[in-house]
Structure 1
């Protein structure tokens, strides 16, 4: 027997070793914990503390203690680790099984299960808490256990039972046992408020009728029906004070009823209204205490409440619940947390420095002990709540955020998937604020790193655990944002301090260890930063002989001389690549065109890739398919192409390594595949607009009869060699019609076939070649849209920005020739301006780095007869030699004449 006092102290009344007398002792093993609920089984006990901890002790032959199977018997209370962090509302003990229910109605069971009394759909014992999935969304508020059966009460007054039913104790008008929860149909609509299970009988109370109903075993008169027969369905008990009519002044309507079921007994208590005995005491939450008035005489009580709640994972998870029963819908998609309430609480305590400081101290102490193996979505509430309580911009909050991030990093992959799902269903405002919180913490950490490096207190070799942790969470949030489709710009993740670290790596002769570790979190780099990292890696690879770096002195690498004939460009390129050694790809190219003068300082290399890209776009090249969208894609069958795609991939990789635009008209899907980003129907719409629109119509269709008329199945029709080939998208796809129920699967398989299954071999060869052509690896930091911009450049021209970035040699900006030049230039048609850009740089595309970093020089060639001298563009060094003309008309004529020679760059 357990005895619980009003001050939360728990005592145990038990037989002595001689069994001749009984003794009562205080359970000192529970320390100073305030116990709010107790429950006793046949040979085990349970106790719930106000701090949210569940303790069990006694026999464990069937796992009824919930602490695993290693313990056969525990004389002292054991913490049920499996329920750590779950905000429990009630506990119950059966003969040899145990159940608990959370504040949000989740029910967990463990112990003996030979009759299905755990409600798990089988009869195997469980030695650790298991979630009863069949009660999901049941809104459970109360549970009761018999010897081998269980009853569950919902907030709506519905009752379901499961387990042993040989005496009718389940109320289903049968003696059959039930392994999964089944609603008691006879009580439908009665709105039950209490339920109690005896050993083999059950009681329920319906307050609207003032009636107590009983069912199950009646062999000792426990059903209160003046007989000893069993009852298979609920029947009312005739109370002595109520013979069917409510007499004024002597009626149960004047009383509060409490029902109790013993082993083979039933007790009905008539209590005064609002008697505290009717209400279960629960764990501490912020609803139960008011944290304020920190300087009042009650500060010590307030401090104790703060310590109790914020040192408990369960108490925090039980606070801030959504109102109006929304939290009963908690799942892998719904957290059940009222985030506005969290923000309101933060605003309140931030105005109370003493309270706020106490809260932060307790959170800091709690963080290292957070659950490593959460069993419910309710466990994950703390990862949504705590960041918003640590929003303050101070070192203490940043430190605690680092500890919280470390706790998240310790979660298993399956648990991170649940957290990802909960985050993706947050309102965008809160998700953006969450990003901001971790971004500020990461910025602070990296700024501290820079400060310590500058004053020689630390090297750039390593990142500390907390620095890595906050960056890891920031990258995790970026992935969630990308999958969930939040309209949050990537700039919200950037950390400006990264630029200084990159600059330090450029300027200092130090190992790039810290920078390389930072590249694991690409979201914190803007595009310019990523390009800079790519440049650093290229510099290392091109300047050093990396193969022998550990055993030989560093060797400065000469450029890779690359002679080609313009008329046989692709043939020459393929010949060189087929015979190239792996180490040659680490060098920078130095291109020469046969029979043409010119020294390659970058311009001829850019021209090589521009001309090669144009040649491969031609139908006669035979490598890629040109689709109706005018985009290129891989052929479905690549066996007849030899090593073409390996060579094309090599050339493509070389373009990236040599920082050259290669304007292949590929869809963004290619860059997603390269970066292993999942492809969607939106990508198919870009590549095959007509098919994409048709598939979207299938997804949007709401009428079932339309699918019958479409006569679609899980196949795809392809034209090949003048004939139609039928390919099944899944096994036996020809015989599986597309319906409203399976259309999403059909569309997903269709997209997967086009982008993956049908081009698996050529794409694999392409990537094998790409890795050869670009030995650098940091390109994987880029987003697909960024990688596409690097390869293709872009066509967003800001000509005034181009003018702003110009430098002058032999001229001043105020010179008349310069004023005339820009006056002529800005009046040129857009097409002529683009041709001038190609004339100057080798391409009419803007580099991915943008015009901000595009600087060219206008120089005076100092010719004696400038009217006879044309403007000369040096694509190698971005220098325009502009003679001093006498009038704008001649300047315009000579400039237009010069840029007409840009046809080799494939302009329109």
Structure 2
């Protein structure tokens, strides 16, 4: 679908009114106060804006912070009433004021040292009370509602106190006022950028652009789509992708500003304070359409009105209640859309660019012009974070006096999950605003760069380690929002350095991850899944390295201990590695499985081969729960050991014998499988009329022969794909309804008895057996043409080309000899495939081929398989590995076969052996494969490959070479070779033996 270009409204048209005056620009020291008729004090008009650090006006009071860090509070002059002189407030012990905010009856005053005090406005002459409950917390932001307060610490903690009638201080169902600052636990670990408070609701913004709201919601001021109050912070999902950078709360409404300068409002609209040309309440954030086309710089909410500043236009817009002329036009009418206040703010002469600050209070509006940005208080100071310039100072400065300050900064950051999460935010292409789990939003390159820098400064690294130690003592306790969980991506990289302290903390971290609730672990896995491949691999290597070291230690402990091995700490690492491995599986193995292998497992097996140490056996048993750490060779060894152990135990009981006639092989097999009641016993096969005892050879040949017959196209059991020479379940149910159950049982018996059943199934079958969803790549393997056609649909750049394909959500299939269209979704025949829905179409097509169309067939197959193979050890294999174990492979290396050969009654240098190999290598490829079948019962190579494949050549010990041909003992891969007179005789005997085998099998 082609994107339509959106025409932008000319910026000069935004909220304009032709009847509004535009007087000359203001002087550089102007302070505008609306309404003008309400004077706080005559001396206020004489205040020089250059001496004002901050202004706050709420609940009938106006307070200013002077540049000398003192506070002046002006009472509002009521109609006909007397004015009292302004209060001058100073903090105790000469502390300087940095910020303030006010509630209905008191002020919050923040000192430049980050200490917070409360002051009762009504109690003239009283001293501000220091909030000692906050201890040594350094506060960076404050916000007040009517009767509740919020404070954000530099360490990233949010505190709330006051009335909790609607849950505005996030104290659950607590009704009594919260008199002391209490930590808002639900936001622990989330790096907050801005806090705001309305009349009885609270809103905060994270550095990732996520907005959280809670408290009163009678008008929809929480933006959650309903009017139910919330007693804990809740994500405003409607703003997840809006790149929010600022929030402001009015009495019962809220406004948010995006990075692109767009404004959304929600909540009470009774006075037009939402700017949507109506008085309707909005339960969800809604874009202020009248401002579209302008890049808004500031937004401020009063109780029932809103101010907007557009720096590019030099305009301030107001809307909402005008009952007390707070909109700046002198009238008392409400305004339902943004309109200019009637003054323009431009540069004056050659002076530097003036800065405008807008403040909206109870029923007042203030515009303050400043010469310098630094002359006004920074109301949005951030929590402590790692910054490049700051890091350079840490590693380069050696001044002991400066170091103490830096040390405190380092400790503060790395003992706080919120500070760590806010330190390495992805900035390129605004990724960090995508607060869903589509991207991790962590700049892992910055994390690695930081590690490299501090690794050169042991003093700094030591402080980081100590701080992380403190963090990890509490990291299990904070709630698991996606933003808080990002710390689990960052900390392992910080601890990648190989030393005992880092390793110990990594173990603690792994334990903390594993103990998280399942839902939070799934969120973390989503974050891992969206890391770039290099960083994901680095994360895996950190845990894999430590797990290897810990396993080595555990092996030594087990060898020296006579008692049963207790749980060792490294199992936490294996649990985390398994989570990472499962992520890798779901992402189609972005990194190779070998990255998860732990080589020390081979060491453990080597010890067990010489000493059946009980603790070592116990350790191996526990490791078997984490098969992804094993190489294929180790898995095959364990699989064979398990099956051999079971067969050995069953040797004292009756075996399950399958008696079959070659000419009625399938019928006899099905009858035997239907009547079998000892499926867990070792399988023995006997061909009627043929001599010999099954020590493995006839059984293997049985699976080879029956597999060939069942897969024959004329049997019409499977659907055949000529391009790939692979088979799949038929979409139509065969006449024998239990056919796939029986085939599954046969397949399971082959695996349980360690035999190869070379049914040419695609990898998709083994994925489904492992509960892994097949993908388009699997369809390409099964049907290359169909798969490539679907890929072409996904790759097509032009909408009209896709339209010309005339595709819809149907698939053409043959059913009972007729061609029919099957819908891939409801009403699929009427849904054309477009550029927007093509991915859905391809996914539906793949799901139909491998899932929906064969759901019963595969279900029957698995039911039979689980009966045929009662041991679940097969689940340790990856889909590709399981296919090799069951089907074998055809990667032949005849030179390797000769190298691995052993001899009994012969020497390698004997002429007979030299001639045999010369004759063998001269055989055509097909004859060599026939030789494998003659020797083992199948021409497929076992899972271990040719490197582990051995053949023994023994002396047949017959005198007359003309009467005795080569014989094979298929159970042990022994070739009995007669002595002969010359090479031609040997060649003739070998060819005759192979021809007889092709005709008559082992007989």
Fold shared per TM-score above 0.5: yes
Alpha-carbon separation, structure 1, partners of 2:182 and 2:483: 22
CA positional deviation for 1:621: 4.2
Deviates more, 1:108-117 or 1:311-320: 108-117
Aligned residue for 1:721? 816
Q: Does 1:892 align with 2:992?
A: no
The residue that corresponds to 2:372 in the other structure is 273
Which of 841, 845, 851 is matched with 2:946 structurally?
Answer: 851
Q: What do the CA deviations read for 1:382-404 (whole angstroms, capped 9, x no partner)?
A: 12211111112233323322322
Task: Tell me the secondary structure at the aligned position of residue 321 of structure 1.
Answer: coil
Q: Which has the higher contact order (CA 8 A, sep 6+)?
A: 2
Give, in whole Å, the separation in 2 of the partners of 1:758 and 1:284: 57
Q: Report 1:424-573 matches (<5 A).
A: 424-456=529-561, 459-460=564-565, 462-464=566-568, 466-503=569-606, 507-508=611-612, 510=614, 513-544=618-649, 556-573=652-669
In the other structure, the counterpart of 2:321 is 217
The 5 A counterparts of 1:176-575 are: 176-237=280-341, 248=349, 255-275=354-374, 277-279=376-378, 280-287=380-387, 289-290=390-391, 291-293=394-396, 296-297=399-400, 298-324=402-428, 325-370=430-475, 374=479, 376-456=481-561, 459-460=564-565, 462-464=566-568, 466-503=569-606, 507-508=611-612, 510=614, 513-544=618-649, 556-575=652-671
Task: Report the more deviating stretch, 633-642 or 352-361.
Answer: 633-642
Select which of 718, 735, 744 maps to 1:640. 735
Q: CA deviation at 1:657?
A: 0.8
Note the alpha carbon deviations across 1:843-865, whole angstroms, 9 max, x for none: 21111111222112122334445
Unaligned runs of 5+ in 1: 546-554
User: Is the aligned partner of 1:119 residue 2:223?
Assistant: yes
Distance 1:191-1:720 versus aligned 2 partners, 3 A rule: closer
How far the C-alpha of 1:714 sits from its partner, in A, is: 4.0
Match status 1:609 vs 2:713: no
Q: Distance in 1 between matches of 2:503 and 2:471?
A: 15
Q: Aligned pairs, how many?
A: 887
Q: 1:7 aligns with which of 113, 117, 138?
A: 113
Shift of 1:669: 2.3
Distance change in 2, residues 1:309/1:904 (3 Å):
farther
CA contact (8 A) 2:201 2:213 kept: yes
In structure 2, C-alpha distance between the alignment counterparts of 1:620 and 1:236, rounded to whole Å: 84
Shift in Å, 1:230 = 3.4
Residue 796 of structure 1 and its aligned partner are, at CA, apart by: 0.7
In structure 2, what is the equivalent of residue 552 of structure 1?
none
Label 1:69 to 1:822 Cα distance change in 2 as closer, same or farther (>3 A): same
Q: What is the aligned partner in structure 1 of residue 777 from structure 2?
A: 682
The answer to whether the Cα contact below 8 Å between 2:185 and 2:479 also exists between their aligned partners in 1 is no
Distance 1:587 1:219 in 2: 91
Which position in structure 1 is the counterpart of 2:852?
Answer: 757
Distance in 2, Cα, partners of 1:809 & 1:245: 102
Greater shift, 296-305 or 802-811, is seen at 296-305
> Quick one: which of 802, 807, 817 aligns to 2:897?
802
Asked if structure 1 preserves the Cα contact closer than 8 Å seen for 2:250 and 2:304, the reply is yes
* 1:342 Cα deviation after fit: 0.7
- Residues 175 and 905 (structure 1 numbering): CA distance in 2 closer, same or farther, change over 3 Å? farther
Give, in whole Å, the separation in 2 of the partners of 1:78 and 1:797: 71
Distance 1:15 1:320 in 2: 42
Q: Following TM superposition, by how much is the alpha carbon of 1:316 offset from its aligned partner in structure 2, in angstroms?
A: 0.3
Tell me, in whole angstroms, the C-alpha distance in 2 between the residues paired with 1:446 and 1:10.
Answer: 51
CA spacing shift, 1:319–1:663, aligned 2, 3 Å = same
Aligned with 1:842 (options 934, 937, 945): 937
Query: With structure 1 as the length reference, what TM-score do the two structures score?
Result: 0.91
Residue 184 of structure 1: CA displacement?
Answer: 3.4
**TM-score, length of structure 2 as denominator length:** 0.82
Contact 2:314–2:345 at 8 Å: present in 1 too? no
Please tell me the root mean square deviation across aligned C-alpha atoms, in Å: 3.0
1:597 aligned partner: 691
Q: 1:789 to 1:407 in 2, by over 3 A?
A: same
Aligned-residue offset at 1:905 = 8.6
Please tell me whether the aligned partners of residues 84 and 371 of structure 1 are also in contact (alpha carbons under 8 angstroms). no
Q: Deviations over 1:2-40 (max 9, x none)?
A: 110000111111379xx8985531111111111111111
**Aligned partner of 1:145 among 233, 237, 249:** 249
Matched, 1:789 2:893: no
Rounded to whole Å, the distance in 1 between the matches of 2:867 and 2:345 is 91
Greater shift in the superposed pair: 270-279 or 767-776: 270-279
Greater displacement, 49-58 / 166-175: 166-175
For the residues of structure 2 that align with 1:735 and 1:266, how far apart are their CA atoms? 57
* Conserved? CA contact 1:294–1:354, under 8 Å: no
Q: Alpha-carbon deviation of 1:601?
A: 2.2
- What's the offset of the Cα at 1:415? 3.5
Measure the CA separation in 2 of the matches of 1:441 and 1:412: 24
Q: Note if contact 2:346-2:354 (Cα within 8 Å) is conserved in structure 1.
A: no
Write out per-residue CA displacement over residues 825-848 of structure 1, whole angstroms, 9 at most, x where no aligned residue: 223322222222222222211111
Aligned pairs for 1:647-796 (under 5 A) are 647-701=742-796, 712-796=807-891
C-alpha separation between the residues in 1 aligned to 2:937 and 2:542?
A: 45
Q: Which one of the candidate residues 163, 172, 193 is aligned to 1:89?
A: 193
Q: CA deviation at 1:286?
A: 0.7
SS in structure 1 opposite 2:284? strand
